[in-house]
Amino acid sequence: MEKEVVLMKGNEAIAHAAIRCGCDGYFGYPITPQSEVIETLAELKPWETTGMQVVQAESELASIYMVYGAAGAGKRAMTSSSSPGIALMQEGITYMAGAEVPGVFVNVQRGGPGLGTIQPSQGDYFQATRGGGNGDYKVIVLAPSSVQEMADFVDLAFELAFKYRNPAMILSDGVIGQMMEKVVLPPFKPRRTDEEVIKECPWASTGKPKNRERVVITSLELKPEAMEKRNIALQEKYAKIQENEVRFEQQQMDDAEYAIVAFGSAARIAEKAVEIAREQGVKVGLFRPITLFPFPEKQIAELSKKVKGILVAEINAGQMVQDVRLAVNGAVPVEQFGRLGGIVPDPEEIVEALKKVM
Amino acid sequence: MAKMKGAIVVDTERCKGCSLCIVACPQKVIALANKVNLHGYPYVEAVNEEACVGCASCGIVCPDGCITVYRKKVEE
Amino acid sequence: MDRNQIVQPENIVCKKPTLMNDNNMHYCPGCSHGVVHKLVAEVIEEMGMADKAVGVSPVGCAVFAYNYIDIDWQEAAHGRAPALATGIKRCWPDRLVFTYQGDGDLACIGTCETIHALNRGENIVIIFVNNAIYGMTGGQMAPTTLIGQKTSTCPYGRDPEIHGYPLKMADIAAQLEGTCYVTRQSVESVGSILKAKKALRKAFEASMAGKGSSLVEFVSTCNSGWKLTPAKANEWMKENMFPFYPKGDLKDTTGEK
């Protein structure tokens, strides 16, 4: 059977994929450059077809807590926003991490800090991977670099979130969100029935039957010994995720003497930069982390044994470069190239920057 | 002639001695005991249970649900 | 008449509600929270909804409500309970979903979530325990603190020039299209408790019948924060709170829809 190929924006793909992966509820708020997500959902009216709820909340704060409530009750719930809105959501995210609630959220990054600009950037890498909320926690972070990955990562984010009972995010940006590309949308998967949810999620607040203890979804624990135990368990969980869920892609790395490490839209630009550099006789390859947490530290450490230098190309003032440097641990020079304020760099700029490590 | 006779059983470890039951009781059945429970709270006891008619005012106003109230119709 | 003849299981006319477990409640002696908890437990039990109820607890003294009433719970961030309840109820429409919030939680940091969940007509019940003070954090001024009332952050009495005016949330809620039942009750006397229980039941039933949102305000005491004995706190409440927060139904369209 021929697969249906359609042309659409990254933001639209998120909306379509959400419906198709059996999402139970989307609770969001408009913000440029991702308002198409809720607009597309509103147009598609999934509450009439799959029963998926779509609610325009009164703020990003309310959005993340609606997700918390629904996901804490075992349902596939998600929201989307852009950088300043995600900043607002940080409290809800740390609460989800602490209470082990599998909410999913999408950040279509724009320039910052503060209200910033509406043009794309990758300035929220720290916010995503270091955790902008309080306490020791991690969020699973997937970084798409195409409209296809925007579509594919929604189900993946839910699968990982529920597998580990951890919030998961898709860290996109204004380029991927707004651009139009061919995409094969995922096949329709029905929403789980209430019985299936109760079976899959015995930890969720679905209503207490007589044969089990009451469920309390909470991140509060006043006894320090108990809280330490909880935190240790969380750290063990993150270690498991680090061991099992790393995803990355490599291009032309087999004979590469230099590597460009880039994620998201920067990786697409870097792909072109690799092409140009190769034409100029430079043996360079591209290493693209797909999961930012868990970060492919082992793979980058391996890579650093084979190349003479690494350029990290990212659209910010230097964030992922820190994780690369940690993984490389001084083995080879690591330099960073970035543009700020919503400027999207050209491939030629990356090629030029590559000289810093050569 | 029938009348109602009541009796109360106080969960003394749950009681915090707030005394709202004493205020609510129309029959002056209840008073603070001269003792404290394991939590350090003085608790209440029925000192005049003869007068209790089982109206349950005490149990209803008790914020901690400490009082079980019994009532039986008695033929005199 | 032997006492043992009276103290028999068949003669029980009042006891701790079945849905309240044996955990001692952490509330101060005489706190209104305890009575409101009992009513919530009794009504859920009497409606036969114990296995379908999901409560959302606040940040405030009642943060540990989930330790006392034997149903499933979620602990919300400060003020966000109506948003959590929205998410739960939208995805589990046949569950009885309610929030349980204090005046700081509902009328200060959570004002936005309160108004919007009510106005969207979410089929939830918002339980509002209003004692005009921030109890848990030690007795600071709340958005519902009365003019002239002394708290730790207005030790000379609330002064509108500096502190603004108290908020009447139930009045605001009654104006919203999405609400079907808005009422003020209290739990200091047998009579008021019985009335309050009826009101709570009405609100829960309305939410299950899909009639929209309800706000059930319990004008309450905080004897610790007010620095009064429990009995004197009830008196103070009757003299000062009731005139400003009058009891009764402010809106009831449950019969119409």
The answer to whether residue C15 sits within a structural domain is no
Q: What DSSP element (H or E) covers A121?
A: none
pLDDT of residue C172: 98
Q: Chains contacting C with at least 3 CB pairs below 8 Å? A: A, B
What is the Rg, in whole angstroms, of the alpha carbon atoms belonging to chain A?
21
Q: Which two tokens stand for residue A80?
A: 């989307």
- Domain with residue C56: its CATH number is 3.40.50.970
DSSP β-ladder status, A168-173 and A140-142:
parallel
Query: Which domains does chain A possess?
Result: 5-194 (3.40.50.970), 248-357 (3.40.50.920)
Helix (H, G, I), strand (E, B) or coil at A329: coil
Percent of chain A clearing pLDDT 70 (strictly above):
99
- Single out the residue of A220, A194, A193, B62 nearest to residue C54, CA to CA: A194
* pLDDT for residue A177 is more than 80: yes
Residue ranges making up the domain that contains C188? 28-252
- Listing DSSP states for A296-327 in one string gives -HHHHHHHHTT-SEEEEE-SSSSSHHHHHHHH
Q: Is B touching C (3+ C-beta pairs, cut-off 8 A)? A: yes
| Residues of chain A neighbouring C116 (CB-CB closer than 8 A) | 57-58, 62
Cβ atoms of B47 and B35 within 8 Å: the answer is no
With an 8 Å Cβ cutoff, is C112 touching chain A?
yes
Neighbours of chain A (3+ CB pairs under 8 A): C
Instruction: Please report residues of B whose CB lies closer than 8 A to that of C28.
Output: 16
Instruction: Name the residue facing C34 among B59, B63, B72 (closest C-beta).
Output: B63
Q: What is the pLDDT of residue A1?
A: 46
d(CA A78, nearest CA chain C) in Å? 10
Mean pLDDT within A344-350: 96
Look at residue C9 and tell me if it is in a domain: no
Residues 69-98 of C with CB under 8 A from A: 70-77, 80, 83-88, 90-92, 95
Q: Average pLDDT of each block of 10 consecutive residues along chain C (257 residues)?
A: 91 97 97 98 98 97 97 97 98 98 95 98 98 93 96 94 96 98 98 98 98 98 97 98 98 89
Does the distance separating the beta carbons of B70 and C6 come in below 8 Å?
yes
Overall residue count recorded for chain B in this entry: 76
C18 lies within 8 A of chain A by CB: no
Residue A2 has pLDDT above 80, yes or no: no
CB-nearest to B41 from C15, C29, C31 is: C29
Question: Which of C195, C237, C200, C236 minimizes the C-alpha distance to C215?
Answer: C200
Average the pLDDT over A213-226 and give the result: 96
Residue contacts between A and C (CB atoms, under 8 Å): 131
- Contact between A68 and C74 using a beta-carbon 8 Å cutoff: yes
Q: Which helix (H) or strand (E) holds A17?
A: helix A10-20
pLDDT tens by residue, C108-131: 999 999 999 999 999 999 999 999
Chain C nearest-CA distance from B41, in A, is 9
In whole angstroms, what is the distance from residue B69 CA to residue B58 CA?
Answer: 8
Domain assignment present for residue C21? The answer is no
Nearest CA in chain B to C39: B60
Q: Tell me the shortest Cα–Cα distance from B18 to chain C, in angstroms.
A: 5
Would you state the pLDDT for residue B1?
72
Q: Is C67 among the domain residues?
A: yes
- For residue A333, the tally of other CB atoms under 10 A from its CB is 17
Residue of B nearest to C188 (CA): B61
Q: Do C83 and A219 touch (CB under 8 A)?
A: no
**How are beta strands A5-9 and A180-184 bridged, if at all?**
antiparallel
Write out the residues of chain A at the interface with chain C, using a CB-CB cutoff of 8 A: 24-25, 27, 53, 55, 57-59, 61-63, 65-73, 75, 77, 91-92, 95, 99, 194, 205-210, 214-220
Q: What is the CATH number of the domain that holds B63?
A: 3.30.70.20
Per-residue model confidence (pLDDT) at position A157: 98
Beta carbons of C72 and A92 less than 8 Å apart: no
Distance (Å, whole) CA A184 – CA A203: 35
Instruction: Look at residue C2 in the predicted model and tell me its pLDDT.
Output: 85
pLDDT at B76 over 80: no
- Residues of chain C with Cβ-Cβ distance to B11 below 8 Å are 16
> What pLDDT is attached to residue C257?
55
A100-158: pLDDT as tens digits: 999 999 999 999 999 999 999 999 999 999 988 999 999 999 999 999 999 999 999 99
Nearest to A217 among C50, C75, C95 (CB): C75
Classify residue C63 as exposed, middle or buried by CB count within 10 Å of its CB (0-12, 13-18, 19+). Answer: buried
- CB contacts under 8 A, C 127-156 vs A, are none
- The pLDDT of residue B75 is above 60: yes
CA distance C17 to chain B (A): 8
C/A Cβ contact: 3+ pairs below 8 Å: yes
Mean pLDDT of the residues in chain A:
96
Mind listing the pLDDT tens digit for each residue in A220-273? 999 999 999 999 999 999 999 999 999 999 999 999 999 999 999 999 999 999
Q: Report the pLDDT value the prediction gives residue B15, as an integer from 0 to 100.
A: 98
pLDDT at B65: 97
Show which subunits contact B, needing at least 3 CB pairs below 8 angstroms.
C
C238 in contact with chain A, both atoms CB, cutoff 8 A: no
CB of A128 closer than 8 Å to CB of A169: yes
If one counts the domains in chain B, the total is: 1
How many domains in chain C? 1
Partner-chain residue, chosen from B60, B64, B68, that has the shortest CB–CB distance to C25: B64
Alpha helix stretches (DSSP H) within C2-122? 3-6, 32-46, 81-91, 103-104, 111-119
**CA angle, residues A179, A183, A184, in degrees to nearest 5:** 165
- C-alpha–C-alpha distance, residues A170 and A141, integer Å: 6
Please name the residue of chain C whose CA is at the shortest distance from the CA of residue A95. Answer: C77
Per-residue pLDDT at A336 exceeds 80:
yes
The alpha-carbon gap from A115 to the nearest alpha carbon of chain C, in Å, equals 21
Q: Is residue C8 part of a domain?
A: no
Residues of chain B that touch chain C, judged by Cβ-Cβ distance less than 8 Å: 5-7, 9, 11, 13-14, 16-20, 23-24, 39, 41, 49, 54, 56-57, 59-72, 74
Partners of A258 in the β-ladder = A284, A309
Which 46-75 residues of chain C touch chain B by CB within 8 A? none
Q: Does any domain span residue C4?
A: no
Q: What span, in angstroms and rounded, lies between the C-alpha atoms of C147 and C155?
A: 12
What residues make up the domain containing B10?
Answer: 2-75
Q: Do C91 and A61 touch (CB under 8 A)?
A: no
Cβ-defined contact of A210 to C51 (cutoff 8 Å)? yes
Q: How far apart are the C-alpha atoms of C226 and C238, rounded to whole Å?
A: 14
